[in-house]
């Protein structure tokens, strides 16, 4: 099953994101098909490659759930209409600095 | 307080073990997420933006000290050291790993707690007046009836596949602190002309994207007929409630579309048609057995006034203010009801750390017959504290960061988790609450403003009850930007009303100055300092306040 989020055009740079089944943590699909909690590890894809990556992710449901494509900038950072939501998913709630992933060493500087 | 019998205890223990097996199968890939999702939801496990969230039921908001200690332990061991009180008197843990949840449920079972009926299209946790059993305002303690409803509804096969979730609230006081008119069913305990105790039945209230105030369909149902009557309501809802559109599936839509009078006739016909064999026999002995668990604690016989209390107030102005704002009259002479605000200025409303939970448990054990209440306004209550002990309670709360004196004032804000946590939210709500608290932090100013209920939701599902805020704030997404729609005139008490939208939405940074203008307008136009904001709004209409809201444009 895949989460329903806003549709993105084929040329828009994107990554596959999901949740880790065991912990519920936000994860991103890497080039090797593994999953990382660090957005900078994610593979940026467009067009058919994005469709293939999402299809592969959907079958990986022992490890992750509800994968979907999210928009990123050319440099791989969070971008687009859902920037705030995806920034919060990537870094943690804005209201608890102690829970910020960068503070906890989860996100590479 | 109610205690489990051996059957209750076995059921929750078995439920935890069942879920352990289900989680193991999910983690091994033996079942898919589609197969697992209904199982986890039936155990209160949601998936939020960046973690699982576990919602645990606190029946009618009543807790024992040892149960609070278990929450503290769970917060420390399995979460990030805190929990969050919800607007249905429950607790949510926002960071629990799925692999740990069977252990958490096992720990909860050890103190007669669980997460059943906290999700899904069933009858959810029955809520009540947080002052039940302590206030002199009520005609009876409503909690035995909440417990009877809980026992009747849990695992009832007719109610396990309702069109949508279903929420019941019960009060027995004229002043409604339980928001019964914005519940699917609200029950108001009444006495009839013969002096018998029964219930006014209010149906079809609710918030969400289509808010409605409930309507009374029966002025009085006797205690012995309550469950039969509720069953009649549920059967009509089960039969005619829509299942084709989840946004039109709540009973409020059915009542509104059918018409209250016609809906009442359908219920009465169903009630009359119940065969004798179907009737739920609720023997007085069983009512008495359950009521006995809620018998008044062993109060001391004390004078109305306490010299220790008066002396402490005279020497400590901050204590005097806290006592005036956060305590309420108790039915027993020499005792007081204490509201512990979980709204310190600038902190997420309703969040409590594990240390604060332990302190509250200590206080409950030492000063309040081990009892704690959780309110739908996201605060805690020590229901039975001697006036003689209030100063020590206050000093302990002060040391734990729990002595904010703002109960029912402008900074006592209801707030949903919003986009910082929730997968459904469109906008953040906690930062808006924090900014408003900072704006109105001055205690003398808060006192001067008086009772004013601000309620904030991060989406139209209205978990933050914005529809019934004197000032409601709804976060909306406009092409990726957060905007906030302001409503005026909502209330959830005995004069329940849905707030009206004031006009165009505001950017987050514009909300505090806009509300400051509204408050200044209120102070300017109120007839006297004791006229509350909501009363001035009703007397003068919304226009002066709308003009103030948008005066900067």
Contact B32 A61 (CB under 8 A): yes
Contact A83 B480 (CB under 8 A): yes
Do residues B360 and B451 both lie within one domain?
no
For B116, B151, B166, B477, the CA distances from B145, given in Å and listed in that order, are 19, 10, 17, 41
Distance from CA of B46 to the nearest CA of A (A): 10
Where does the pLDDT of residue B281 fall: very low under 50, low under 70, confident under 90, or very high at 90 and above?
Answer: confident
- Closest CA relative to residue B134, chosen from B312, B326, B368, B402: B368
> What would the mean pLDDT of B318-341 be, rounded to a whole number?
98
Residue-wise pLDDT for B240-267, tens only, equals 999 999 999 999 999 999 999 999 999 9
d(CA B47, CA A3): 12
Residue B210 has pLDDT above 80, yes or no: yes
Residue B242, judged by CB atoms within 10 A of its CB (0-12, 13-18, 19+), counts as: middle
Q: Is the Cβ of B344 closer than 8 Å to some Cβ of chain A?
A: no
Residue B500 has pLDDT above 80, yes or no: yes
Where does the pLDDT of residue B151 fall: very low under 50, low under 70, confident under 90, or very high at 90 and above?
Answer: very high
| Paired strand residues for B56 | B91
Average pLDDT, chain B: 96
Report yes or no: B60 and B146 within 8 Å, Cβ to Cβ.
Answer: yes
> Which among B28, B47, B421 has CB closest to A93?
B421
Residues of A in contact with B95 (CB under 8 A): 99
Q: Establish if B405 belongs to a structural domain.
A: no
Contact A66 B33 (CB under 8 A): yes
CATH number at residue B518: 3.30.413.10
Residue B190 has pLDDT above 60, yes or no: yes
Return the number of other C-beta atoms located less than 10 Å from residue A96's C-beta.
18
> What would the mean pLDDT of A21-34 be, rounded to a whole number?
97
Q: Establish if B246 belongs to a structural domain.
A: yes
d(CA B240, CA A32): 52
Q: Where are the domains of chain A?
A: 14-94
Do residues B245 and B156 both lie within one domain?
yes
Q: Establish if B123 belongs to a structural domain.
A: no
Sign of CA dihedral B340, B346, B349, B353: negative
SS3 label, residue B22 = helix
Where does the pLDDT of residue A108 fall: very low under 50, low under 70, confident under 90, or very high at 90 and above?
Answer: very low
Residue of chain B minimizing CA distance to A96:
B348
Q: Establish if B116 belongs to a structural domain.
A: no
Where does the pLDDT of residue A103 fall: very low under 50, low under 70, confident under 90, or very high at 90 and above?
Answer: low
What residues make up the domain containing B68? 6-109
Q: What is the largest CA-CA distance in chain B?
A: 68
> What would the mean pLDDT of B48-58 be, rounded to a whole number?
96
Q: Establish if B23 belongs to a structural domain.
A: yes
Do residues B28 and B90 both lie within one domain?
yes
Residue B277 has pLDDT above 90, yes or no: no
Sign of CA dihedral B360, B363, B365, B367: negative
> What would the mean pLDDT of B98-127 be, rounded to a whole number?
95
- Closest CA relative to residue B230, chosen from B192, B274, B262, B191: B274
Where does the pLDDT of residue A109 fall: very low under 50, low under 70, confident under 90, or very high at 90 and above?
Answer: very low
> What would the mean pLDDT of B118-140 be, rounded to a whole number?
96
Where does the pLDDT of residue A96 fall: very low under 50, low under 70, confident under 90, or very high at 90 and above?
Answer: confident
Do residues B434 and B473 both lie within one domain?
yes
> What would the mean pLDDT of B427-432 be, rounded to a whole number?
97
In the listed set B239, B265, B292, which residue is the last one of a domain according to the structure? B292
> Which among B32, B95, B419 has CB closest to A85?
B419
> What would the mean pLDDT of B115-132 be, rounded to a whole number?
94
Q: Is the Cβ of B420 closer than 8 Å to some Cβ of chain A?
A: yes
Do residues B154 and B260 both lie within one domain?
yes
Do residues B17 and B72 both lie within one domain?
yes
Q: Establish if B222 belongs to a structural domain.
A: yes
Do residues B103 and B164 both lie within one domain?
no
Do residues B445 and B528 both lie within one domain?
yes
> Which among A26, A61, A66 has CB closest to B50?
A26
Q: Is the Cβ of B419 closer than 8 Å to some Cβ of chain A?
A: yes
| Count of domains for chain B | 4
Residue A107 has pLDDT above 60, yes or no: no
Give the torsion through C-alpha atoms of B5, B71, B346, B476, to 10 deg: -70
CATH number at residue B321: 3.90.480.20
In the listed set B351, B373, B399, which residue is the last one of a domain according to the structure? B399
Residue A106 has pLDDT above 70, yes or no: no
Contact A24 B48 (CB under 8 A): yes
Instruction: Among B104-108, B153-157, B402-406, B428-432, name the one with the lowest average pLDDT.
Output: B153-157
Do residues B418 and B468 both lie within one domain?
yes
Q: Establish if B212 belongs to a structural domain.
A: yes
Residue A104 has pLDDT above 60, yes or no: no
Q: Establish if B348 belongs to a structural domain.
A: yes
The token pair at A62 is 């022992």
Residue-wise pLDDT for B294-322, tens only, equals 999 999 999 999 999 999 999 999 999 99
Do residues B249 and B312 both lie within one domain?
no
Contact A94 B420 (CB under 8 A): yes
Exposure string (b/e) for B28-67, b if CB count within 10 Å is 16 or more?
eeebebeebbebbbbbbbbbbbbbbbbbbbbbbbbbbbeb
List strand residue ranges (DSSP E) for B342-468, in order. 351-353, 371-374, 380-386, 414-415, 454-457
> What whole-number percentage of chain B has pLDDT above 70?
100
> What would the mean pLDDT of B462-486 be, rounded to a whole number?
96
The kind and range of the H/E element at B326 are helix B317-326
- Closest CA relative to residue B87, chosen from B409, B463, B539, B501: B463
Where does the pLDDT of residue A3 fall: very low under 50, low under 70, confident under 90, or very high at 90 and above?
Answer: low
Instruction: Among A3-7, B194-198, B396-400, name the one with the lowest average pLDDT.
Output: A3-7
Which residue is listed with tokens 């989460």? Answer: A3
Contact B431 A95 (CB under 8 A): yes
* Residue B466 φ/ψ, nearest 5 degrees: -60, -30
* ipTM of this complex prediction, to 2 decimal places: 0.92
Residue-wise pLDDT for A33-50, tens only, equals 999 999 999 999 999 999
């Amino acid at each position: 099953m895949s989460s329903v989020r806003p549709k993105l055009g084929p040329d828009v740079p994107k990554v596959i994101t999901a949740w880790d089944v065991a912990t519920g943590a936000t994860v991103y699909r890497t080039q090797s098909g593994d999953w990382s909690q660090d957005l900078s590890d994610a593979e940026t894809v467009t067009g058919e490659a994005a469709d293939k990556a999402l299809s592969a992710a959907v079958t990986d449901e022992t490890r992750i759930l509800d994968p979907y494509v999210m928009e990123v900038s050319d440099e791989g950072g969070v971008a687009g209409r859902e920037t705030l939501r995806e920034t919060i998913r990537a870094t943690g709630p804005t209201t608890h600095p102690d829970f910020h992933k960068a503070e906890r060493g989860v996100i590479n500087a | 307080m109610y205690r489990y019998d051996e059957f209750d205890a076995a059921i929750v223990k078995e439920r935890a073990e069942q879920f352990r097996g289900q989680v193991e199968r999910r983690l091994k890939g033996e079942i898919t997420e589609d197969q697992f999702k209904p199982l986890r939801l039936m155990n209160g496990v949601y998936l939020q933006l960046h973690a699982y969230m576990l919602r645990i039921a606190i029946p009618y908001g009543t807790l024992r000290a040892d149960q609070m200690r278990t929450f503290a332990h769970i917060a420390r061991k399995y979460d990030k050291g805190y929990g969050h009180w919800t607007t249905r008197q429950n607790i949510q843990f926002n960071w629990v790993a799925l692999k740990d949840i069977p252990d958490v449920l096992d720990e909860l079972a050890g103190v007669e707690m669980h997460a059943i009926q906290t999700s899904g299209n069933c009858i959810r946790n029955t809520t009540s007046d947080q002052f039940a059993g302590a206030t002199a305002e009520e005609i009876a303690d409503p909690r035995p009836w909440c417990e009877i409803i809980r026992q009747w509804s849990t695992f009832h096969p007719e109610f396990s596949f309702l069109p949508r979730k279903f929420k019941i609230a019960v009060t027995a006081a004229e002043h409604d602190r339980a928001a019964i008119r914005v519940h699917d069913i609200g029950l108001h305990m009444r006495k009839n002309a013969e002096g018998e105790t029964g219930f006014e039945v209010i149906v079809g209230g609710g918030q969400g994207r289509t808010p409605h105030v409930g309507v009374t369909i029966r002025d009085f149902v006797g205690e012995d007929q309550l469950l039969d009557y509720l069953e009649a309501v549920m059967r009509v809802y089960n039969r005619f409630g829509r299942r084709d559109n989840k946004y039109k599936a709540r009973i409020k839509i059915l009542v509104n579309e059918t018409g209250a009078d016609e809906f009442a006739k359908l219920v009465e016909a169903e009630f009359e048609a119940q065969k004798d064999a179907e009737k739920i026999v609720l023997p007085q002995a069983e009512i008495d057995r359950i009521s006995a668990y809620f018998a008044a604690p062993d109060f001391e016989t004390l004078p109305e006034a306490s010299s220790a209390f008066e002396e402490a107030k005279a020497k400590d102005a901050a204590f005097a203010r806290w006592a005036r704002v956060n305590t309420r009259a108790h039915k027993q002479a020499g005792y007081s009801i204490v509201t512990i605000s979980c709204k310190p200025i600038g902190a997420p409303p309703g969040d409590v750390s594990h240390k604060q939970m332990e302190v509250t448990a200590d206080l409950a054990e030492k000063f309040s017959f081990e009892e704690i209440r959780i309110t739908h306004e996201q605060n805690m209550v020590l229901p039975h504290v001697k006036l003689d002990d209030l100063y020590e309670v206050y000093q302990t709360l002060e040391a734990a960061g729990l002595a904010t004196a703002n109960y029912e004032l402008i900074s006592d804000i209801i707030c949903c988790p919003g986009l910082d946590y929730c997968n459904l939210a469109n906008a953040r709500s906690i930062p808006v609450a924090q900014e408003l608290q900072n704006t109105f932090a001055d205690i003398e100013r808060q006192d001067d403003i008086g009772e004013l209920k601000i309620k904030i939701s991060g989406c139209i599902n209205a978990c933050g009850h914005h529809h019934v805020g004197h000032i409601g704030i709804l976060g909306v997404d406009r092409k990726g930007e957060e905007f906030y729609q302001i409503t005026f005139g909502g209330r959830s008490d005995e004069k329940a009303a849905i707030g009206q939208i004031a006009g165009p939405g505001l950017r987050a940074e514009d909300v505090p100055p806009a509300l400051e203008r509204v408050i200044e307008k209120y102070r300017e136009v109120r007839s006297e300092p004791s006229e509350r904001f909501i009363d001035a709004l009703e007397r003068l209409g919304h226009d002066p306040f709308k003009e103030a809201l948008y005066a900067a444009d």
